Amino acid sequence: MSGVIDTEGEVAEWTFPAEPDAVRTARHVVRDTLRAWGLNQVIGDVTVLLVSELVTNSLRYASGPIGVRLVRPEPGESAPSLLVEVSDPLPVPPVERPAKPDDESGRGLQLVACTASRWGTRRGRTGKTVWFELPLTG
């Protein structure tokens, strides 16, 4: 079960327990929110994929709650982007590493780096946040 922090206005936030169901639940609430915001299916599919990868990384390397936050742009922004953040209690930033062709994992950050217009990490008081932006126009 997830804890809904806020889904009003331009921001939606949730906290998920560090349990295997967190990935599936995060995918569903993110997809439902993006639909409610009227964003197209392509943005929805890409966002859900990247959130799934980052929540999976949090489950694999950190213990404790996982936060997911979506911020849609204010109406009328000249270069609108969707901001997505995934936070966990582990303060160590993730390291993008090349995956070998036969590897079954290890491509999450590569997907983020190749797909997002911008991405990065930042430390918080009790952990870190991995964030990315997806452009909402051509």
Identify the CATH number of the domain in which residue 73 sits.
Answer: 3.30.565.10
- Residue 66 pairs in a beta bridge with 16
Q: Does the pLDDT at position 132 exceed 90?
A: yes
pLDDT of residue 7: 56
> Of 44, 6, 43, 40, nearest to 27 (Cα)?
44
Structural domain boundaries enclosing 122? 3-135
Provide the pLDDT for residue 76: 77
Tell me how many domains the chain contains. Answer: 1
Higher pLDDT, 50 or 10: 50
